[in-house]
Structure 1
Amino acid sequence: MGQFRAADLLRRKPVALIEGEHPPEHLHRSIGLFQLTMLGVGATIGTGIFVALTTAVPAAGPAVILSFVLAGITAALTALCYAELASTIPVSGSSYSYAYATLGEFVAFVVGACLLLEYAVSASAIAVGWGQYLNEMLTDLVGWKMPDVIAKAPGAGGVFNLPAVALVGACMVLLLRGVKESTTINAILVVLKLAILVFFVVVAFTGFHAHNLSPFMPMGWKGVGAAAASIFFSYIGIDAVSTAGEEVKDPRRTLPAGIVLSLLIVTAIYILVAVAAIGAQPWTAFAGQEAGLAVILRNLTGQAWTSLVLCVGAIVSIFSITLVVMYGQTRILYAMSRDGLLPKLFQRLDPKTRTPDLNTYIVAVFIAVLAAFVPLDVLVNLTSMGTLIAFAIVSLGVIILRRTQPDLPRGYKVPLFPALPAASVAFCGYLIWKLPLDTWALFAVWVAGACVVYFGYSVRHSRLAA
């Protein structure tokens, strides 16, 4: 494939070539503002809020409310940057495609690695949370609870997290059969998620005690920042809005409006849930609390049916999110393989279902191993790290593309340029800095492994090398 040159690291994939791989005539601008908003809300709620408070409240105390605001502002700034790139590079891709067009091949590969980590680890964390709510539902229904040995990871007091592995296996089977999402099913699931969380807020506020909010900031601003970095995991799905850029009606208006509306809805729900939960029980009770929202309702009302309702809603919504996340990861592997950055085996499609079956098996095994053996707090922080790195690079890409290719047609432009994308990079950087050292170490190992793959294989097999 030729000799490696340092310039190869910076070779960019022309926007025209990216668009040629995704012929616009196959997609129709059929998504309106309501559908787009529901897409953003549906892809976000259900990932973190059901499990995030367990790790975030002990870090910040009642001030976790401010942590959700800080994370929401960061997500909003980044999502607007996604909107510009989505309207400029109109493909149903992700930040990997955007980075390839703006920052070069090596950065794109690292972003792809971050996305793979983000999707895999988030799916594992979601699966662990799903197992907790399943266990709580069994307790409410039949008075039996799975023993810790099969319900928790080794670092959390167990040996093997069987429910989490079972969820990943079920999603794998569905993906292999060629699951297709519809806007109707998505809308139903969104309404269900919102109804369940509103139900929690209403019931929890009946037991609200203002003294539970004092002291409000026991860990200071340091705790607020650390919790915001951790719960950024809860906003992982917001980029789904911008990736629909080529199918949105009137993207100049609809994209930013959909992003802002979905973020407002999500952040409002998150803050209401946090306020209600902290008001219903002392913040010191959150540490190590499994299926926390359901436990709060049962302790507050003394009735199992309230906990059962929340558990059922959490189980259904978390299942759907796990399916979507696993789907996304298999397609990222496929895209990177198509570009020559990963071996061709990742492009293999099942002749009958036309799904990347080998990718699905690989992704499922990797996610299942993480879910079975890694504690939840480690998974949550790693997810936030991968997400924040990818988001920061996308925001940087907006600045670079404006400078290098100012004449490209843009359906939407970030306001207050370059201040807004620069602020997005700064906010992401602040939250990355607040993540714990062990997360940095694990992430460094992942990136080092990605570099080995890139320099050992990708740089010489890239389609751009030709």
Structure 2
Amino acid sequence: MKDQKLISVPVATAVGLGAIIGAGIFVLSGTTIALAGANALIAFALVGVLAIIIAMEFGELGSIMPHAKGASFSFIFEAFGSEMGFITGILLYFSFSTAIAAIALGFGSYLGSLTGLHSGYYSIIFAIILIFVLSILNIIGIKKAASADFYLVMIKLGILTIFVISAVVLAYSTKTLNVSNFTVPPSKDNVYAIFSASIAVFFAYSGFQSISTLTSDVNGGANKAAKAIVFSVVISMIFYILVVVALILMVPASKYTVSADPLAFALSYVHAPYYLYFIVTIGALIATTSATLAMIMTSSRVLYQIGENKLLPKFFRKFNSKKDVSVNGVIISSVIGIVMLFSGNVYIIAAISNFGLLLSYLVSSFAVIHFRRIKKSGTFKTPLYPYTVIVAIILLVLFIYGMPKEALDIGVIIILILFMLYYFFIEFKRDRVIREELFK
């Protein structure tokens, strides 16, 4: 008899889709076009392939540690110990909690567009209300939150399908369908532009980690959770590419700017019927709601796991086993998300969030190599090892190198602070200096 408390593979896949699709298609797709023109399609495909490899790595690591709740932090902590775990864990947590702001800001922008309250001031107010309401839903319990996410995802996939089909019809009927829409200006027809767009795209794919925090809650165990991770990335990649094509069919790539409501902009540009604009905007609100829900859930569980591994005070270890939720983690993550709403536009927030994600994925790839080396394996294995892992490492290093200078500066500063804090706490407890021999 199946445990009624367990989550099915479709529901687990929906949790990942909820985090991935809301963060990218409805919020950052226009930004990627603004940065790279029609080459945004290359960015989505390139990062999609990388995301599939990382998703398979996470499937393998999750099958080795099925009860871990801290996503890549748990994998890194188990593979490389407390120092690397503490630094990457806090960075990863900061990335997830920052992502709450980026996605919620997308919700606020779409709601502002629908209500006619276009001011950024109103967008932030709407985002704050969303974060508050979803925090309550997370505190009610993970099973209820995950079930709600499943139905939200099914609705928004249907709405995205309507959007893509309607885009083709509108582009043809309004005669905006033109090959020149896909023309890439010289300033954006280069590798740097594609890398800049890829940074935004990478953030858009990041949500699949939410499934890895639920491995022990998935019916069928780690192997089924691994499949759910891969399914969520592949489905997202297909929809991402279709939506970017649809956007450029309706509006020349040169017209897009950094904004949090690109689909609404495209429909307004071609004077789409109001009912279609209304349906798609509702879909965007649902998508950003489910993505914010998943990010609050994921960040809170990562914070709990860092505390559970004794790298944070007892306050962070409060966990309601009956409801399967980290109450304090939810509250702290939501507060950080609200604060980060005031740090800049959606691209800046996403870039800040990306540093910790990229670093955690990079170290997680080395964790796969580590566990293979010591012959510790789970029920799921990354295909074509070690070639796929090597490809992932190379691409991740290139993406980190191509990040905006501001995001790199913030990331390096945080690493230095965490490094000093770690050794301050270590040495504070010791009564003698420990000297290690690195080489014999």
| 303-312 or 239-248: bigger deviation | 239-248
In the alignment, which residue of structure 1 is the partner of 2:433? none
Cα distance between partner residues in 2 of 1:147 and 1:410: 51
Q: 1:33 to 1:180 in 2, by over 3 A?
A: closer
The match for 2:73 is 96
What aligned pairs does 1:190-229 form with structure 2 within 5 A after superposition? Answer: 190-206=153-169, 207=171, 208-215=177-184, 218-229=188-199
Q: Distance in 2 between matches of 1:229 and 1:351?
A: 37
2:56 counterpart (56, 80, 91): 80
Q: Structure 1's 146 and 52: CA in aligned 2 closer, same or farther, altered over 3 A?
A: closer
CA RMSD of superposed structures (Å):
2.8
Residue 460 and residue 422 in structure 1: after superposition, are their counterparts in 2 closer, same or farther (change >3 A)?
farther
**Residues 326-353 of structure 1: per-residue CA shift (max 9 Å, x gap):** 1222222222222221122222468997
- 2:88 corresponds to 1:125: no
Q: Deviations over 1:82-125 (max 9, x none)?
A: 11111112224211111111112111111211221111111010
Residue 292 of structure 2 aligns with which residue? 322
2:398 is equivalent to residue 430 of structure 1: yes
Measure the CA separation in 1 of the matches of 2:153 and 2:262.
Answer: 21
Q: Is the 8 A contact 1:84 1:411 kept in 2?
A: yes
Q: Residue 340 of structure 1 contacts residue 458 of structure 1 at CA under 8 Å; is this kept in 2?
A: no
CA distance in 2: counterparts of 1:99 and 1:107, whole angstroms: 7
Kindly provide the amino acid, as one letter, of the partner of residue 214 in structure 1.
T
C-alpha distance in structure 2 between counterparts of 1:331 and 1:398, whole Å: 22
Residue 183 of structure 2 aligns with an amino acid whose one-letter code is S
TM-score using structure 1 length: 0.82
TM-score, normalization by structure 2: 0.87
- Quote the sequence identity (%): 25
Q: 2:346 pairs with 346, 367, 376, which one?
A: 376
Q: Runs of 5+ in structure 2 lacking a partner? A: 172-176, 431-440
Deviation at 1:147, TM superposition (A): 3.2
C-alpha separation in 1, matches of 2:285 and 2:150: 17
Bigger Cα displacement from structure 2, 52-61 vs 125-134: 52-61
SS at match of 1:47: helix
C-alpha separation between the residues in 2 aligned to 1:83 and 1:29? 21
Aligned to 2:249: 279
Q: Distance in 2 between matches of 1:427 and 1:28?
A: 41
Q: Is the 8 A contact 1:230 1:435 kept in 2?
A: no
Question: Per-residue deviation at 1:230?
Answer: 1.8
- Equivalent residues, number: 421
The correspondence for 1:360, drawn from 309, 316, 330, is 330
2:269 — aligned with what? 299
Alpha-carbon offset, residue 356 of structure 1:
4.2
Moved more, 448-457 or 109-118: 448-457
Mapping of residues 54-453 of structure 1, within 5 Å: 54-93=30-69, 94-139=71-116, 145-148=117-120, 150-151=121-122, 161-178=124-141, 180-181=143-144, 184-206=147-169, 207=171, 208-215=177-184, 218-248=188-218, 254=224, 257-348=227-318, 356-403=326-373, 405-406=374-375, 408-453=376-421
Conserved 8 A contact 2:32-2:40: yes
Q: Identify unmatched segments of 5+ residues in structure 1.
A: 1-25, 140-144, 153-160
Kept after mapping to 1: 8 A contact 2:318/2:327: yes
Deviates more, 1:302-311 or 1:29-38: 29-38
In structure 2, distance between residues paired with 1:127 and 1:38: 19
TM-superposed CA distance for 1:209, in Å, is: 2.5
How far apart are residue 172 of structure 1 and its match? 2.8
Partners of 2:62 and 2:222 within 8 A in 1: no
- Distance in 1 between the 2:54 and 2:46 partners? 13
Distance 2:321 2:226 in 1: 39
